Structure 1
Amino acid sequence: MKYLHTVAIAALILFVSGCAVKPDVSWDYNHQVDWSALNSWAWFSASGDEKNNRILSLMAQRVHDQVSQDLAGKGLKQVPADKAQLWLSWGFTEKSKLQSQSYGGGFYYAPYPWYMSNWPSEVVVNSYEVGRLTLNVIDPTNRRVIWQGIASQRLTSDMSPEEQKEYISKSVDSLLAKFPPPENYIPSQQ
């Protein structure tokens, strides 16, 4: 019984520490762009009637607010789309993942060769959701993506509004930490 209690505590510690982890972030960008010359941006908007009927969800409002705040802190100014040097768009996807954990497995060998035993083990498989926030920076002249960042983080099904806001804030902050890319930036190989 004490063994199960120890395993339960270890699992709880791993779960809690997993929630506090920063999102996994990856970037890619066009190395031929002169990023120092770009200082204005706008949200990419679709053409036609759909842009007039667009309603921003709470999540979209949080993303827009955090991106605006982070880019203003970097000296980039939000302007109307027809005057912007950069357009931004974003997307969010969820993906189910599986995680397995073995408990209680072991092999016992007594001093006698005929007394070997393979103790029963238990494998527990859990399903969890991973959210991916993707931020694209688009060149308005040719409508091509010139920078893309993806932040992935484990989600919980019962996130409060405060936790959702913190999730968006951490994800956007992590995404924009290296935007615009510094000159001669070479990503680290992990």
Structure 2
Amino acid sequence: MPYFLETGRLALRALGEADVDRLLDLDNDPEVMRFINGGRPTTREAVLAESLPRFLHHYPCLGNRGFWAAEERSTHQFLGWFELKPLDDHSAAEAELGYRLNRAAWGRGYATEGAIALVRKGFTDFGVERVTANTMTANARSRRVMENAGLSYVRTFFEEWPEPIEGSELGDVEYALTRADWERSTGVQGGTP
């Protein structure tokens, strides 16, 4: 199977219809979904009609998709997914970093490892100038991943939630990293170490 990106322990590949049951399991774990929808269950129909089309979307400015299935490299076990998708279909200047991993993968550094690799890929191969990521203020684990991947806190903001969930009253946070700051911190210039 062709992989989009490999790290020491992860292999990222295109998501597809064969992943529907895996995505459904992931989105039906109340702890995984706690800071996304309060842990409410997701239907198969919602995965097929809403999630899968988003995962299969092709971004012309990248020449690729913005979402990838994450597998443990040695066992090929499905761990979840990562995203690095442009905020505009036609410009890779700003891209959003995201991840959703199953509980078995938590606390093992997979989210940080995948995030670091995608940030690097965005800056070196896709022409990204700024990577952003958002989460609920209360989601300390996700915030730690963003920080470990080199992103810095930008702001706290408040949005209207259709159905408020525990912690939403604290707002959401935005983190970001520019290519210039990434190059300074890594010593990588224009894609070459």
TM-score, length-scaled by structure 2: 0.26
TM score, norm. by length of structure 1:
0.26
Largest Rg, 1 or 2: 1
Between 1 and 2, higher relative CO (CA 8 Å, sep ≥ 6) is seen in 1
More strand by share: 1
